[in-house]
Amino acid sequence: MVKIRMQRMGAKKVPQYVIVATNESAARDGKFFDKLGFYFPKAPKKEDKLKVNLEKIQAWKAKGAQCSLTVEQLLKTIKA
C-alpha cells in the first residue's frame, strides 16, 4: 500500500521534513515514489513552514494512497 508521510532531513535539533509518497513497508528515510512538499517547523515566517503540491496529493489519494496522521493534520491547517 502507498502511504503519504514525512521523511526527516536536516541536522540535529534543526528538523526539516519532505512529504513523500512511499511504500508502506519502506524505511522512514528510504526510497520513495514522489516528493509532494516540504515542512520546516522552525522556519521564521509562518508561510515558509509548509509548502505542498495539493494537486499531486489529490492524484496519489485518487490512486489509493493513504496519508499518515501527521500529514493529515498538516493538510487540515492549509484548508482551514
**CA angle 59–61–65, rounded 5-degree value:** 125
Q: In angstroms, rounded to a whole number, what is the distance separating the alpha carbons of residues 9 and 74?
A: 17
Q: Whole-prediction pTM value? A: 0.89
| Span 28-76, pLDDT tens digits | 778 889 999 999 999 999 888 999 999 999 999 999 999 999 999 999 9
Domains contained in the chain, CATH given: 2-79 (3.30.1320.10)
Q: Tell me the CA distances in angstroms from 62 to 6, 20, 57, one per residue in order.
A: 19, 15, 9
